[in-house]
Amino acid sequence: MWRSRWPIALLTIIYVLNFVDRQLVGILGQPMKAELGLTDRQLGLLSGVAFALFYTTLGLPIARIAERKSRVGVIAVSLGLWSAMTALCGMARSVPQLVLVRLGVGLGEAGFAPTAQSLIADLVRPERRATALSLFSLGIPAGMLIGAVAGGWLAQSLGWRMAFVWLGLPGIALAILLALTLREPPRSAPTAAHPALIDVARTLWRAPGFAHVAAGASIASFAGYGLTSFAVPLLMRRYGLPIGDAASGFGLVAGVSIGLGIGSGGWLADRRASAGRGGLVAATGALVAGLIFPLVLEAGDPRLLAVSAIAPLAGAHLYFGPTFALTINSVDARSRATAIAILLMAMNAIGLGLGPLTVGALSDAFTQAILPSYSPACHSRACTIASAHGLTSALRVDVLLYFWAALHFLLAARAVRRTQPQSTAR
């Protein structure tokens, strides 16, 4: 039991740091915008495209390396790299410098998730993988919570630059701990003959429901990253909250809510072995998000917004466990890291890469329409109000995408049911 619990616990802690470092631009965006005169489109570029470029394109080749070499070694090097690059974000003095170090963060993080999930798949039985992968994915909301609370208060106390430094350095120590304590588990298939990349891609494409579940996850990721990347700036602009309060409030609500969604998504999908159940769980959550988020954005008080955001945030993340489980169960053990990398390439290119950038560009456009004289250097009350309204309008458009994601999840459930008519609830 300990043999599987310790590696999963350690990998989950690393996943926490993964999301602490990944989301810091979104958390610290407002003071960065004020000091460097950034537009929302530039904030979206830094939190999205600049990170996702290497994260998306290099995830697949690094996963192929992990299929053949030490997965523990790949994770240790990746963790050390992205942690160092996060700390260097605090030293950047211009947008080009920030882009370069964010590219470095993306390069480091590209080697983690597929490799870690491949390890976990060798530690648990197939019928428990959705639950195990959902538990691992709890690193996401935990990282959001810790990153938001710690990042916000560090920025308020020491400035946004030192927040990057202090939250980047612990990962270097954890990389050393990982290399010293974690051993490579036996692979459930020999490493000698790995399927070609094109064969893995073909297997996934032909797997019942995969194309639709990947599309649904990518669209839900687009909406989710667009929303969470600008949540703290929205709270600061709209309600006048200091960064410590805004980031802590966001972190607590998002961390708990998203944790509930991710954790219960895998459990609900595993609870009964009915064909297509995972797709139905994911679709239900996306519909809840699409229906309730527009109402949340109309809240006139930050406390009302916090309470009303719990259900849609949880629903919006039900798809994690079912999506990863369907992907892993669609290929053999020799191809798991590659299959996850293919899925994440789609999800992150569309979601992480384009979601924040699109919301930022829409926010700038709506703000300019409200106040034609607006510029990022303007700090008057009129500019702040216009910026808040512009960002709110952009997010109203963004959250409508959850309905599109729900459609794909439903189509995935139907495809799985058609090919597995004999699968019944037990």
Residue 1 CB burial class (10 angstroms; 0-12, 13-18, ≥19): exposed
Identify which of 228, 248, 375, 203 has the alpha carbon closest to the alpha carbon of residue 316. 228
pLDDT at 425: 39
Q: Which residues constitute the domain of residue 81?
A: 2-183+194-419
Q: Which two tokens stand for residue 418?
A: 């058609």
In this prediction, residues 66-84 reach a mean pLDDT of: 89
Residue 179 CB burial class (10 angstroms; 0-12, 13-18, ≥19): middle
Identify which of 371, 342, 140, 150 has the alpha carbon closest to the alpha carbon of residue 256. 140
Do the domain assignments include residue 6? yes
Instruction: Compute the distance between CA of residue 23 and CA of residue 232 in angstroms, rounded to an integer.
Output: 11
Is 294 within 8 Å of 313 (Cβ atoms)?
no
Angle between helices 160-168 and 29-36 (to 10 degrees): 130
Do the domain assignments include residue 189? no
Do the domain assignments include residue 188? no
Instruction: Compute the distance between CA of residue 147 and CA of residue 17 in angstroms, rounded to an integer.
Output: 8
Name the band, by pLDDT with cuts 50, 70 and 90, for residue 274: low
DSSP state of 335: G
Sign of CA dihedral 404, 288, 220, 272: negative
Q: Which of 229 and 136 is assigned the larger pLDDT?
A: 229
Do the domain assignments include residue 313? yes
Instruction: Compute the distance between CA of residue 31 and CA of residue 38 in angstroms, rounded to an integer.
Output: 10
Instruction: Compute the distance between CA of residue 141 and CA of residue 252 in angstroms, rounded to an integer.
Output: 9
Instruction: Compute the distance between CA of residue 126 and CA of residue 325 in angstroms, rounded to an integer.
Output: 9
Cα angle for residues 272, 273, 276 (degrees, 5° grid): 105
pLDDT at 192: 52
Q: What pLDDT, in 10s, does the model give residues 375-403?
A: 888 888 899 999 999 999 999 999 999 99
Q: How far is CA 129 from CA 122, 134, 155, in A?
A: 10, 8, 38
Do the domain assignments include residue 426? no
Do the domain assignments include residue 399? yes
Question: In terms of pTM, does the model score above 0.85?
Answer: no
Total number of domains in the chain: 1
Q: Which of 197 and 49 is assigned the larger pLDDT?
A: 49
Identify which of 367, 369, 249 has the alpha carbon closest to the alpha carbon of residue 313. 249
- The mean predicted confidence, pLDDT, of the chain is 87
Do the domain assignments include residue 425? no
Q: What pLDDT, in 10s, does the model give residues 288-337?
A: 999 999 999 999 899 999 999 999 999 999 998 888 888 888 887 777 77
Do the domain assignments include residue 333? yes
pLDDT over threshold 80, residue 51: yes
Q: Which two tokens stand for residue 145?
A: 């919570």
Name the band, by pLDDT with cuts 50, 70 and 90, for residue 276: low
Residue 338's CATH number: 1.20.1250.20
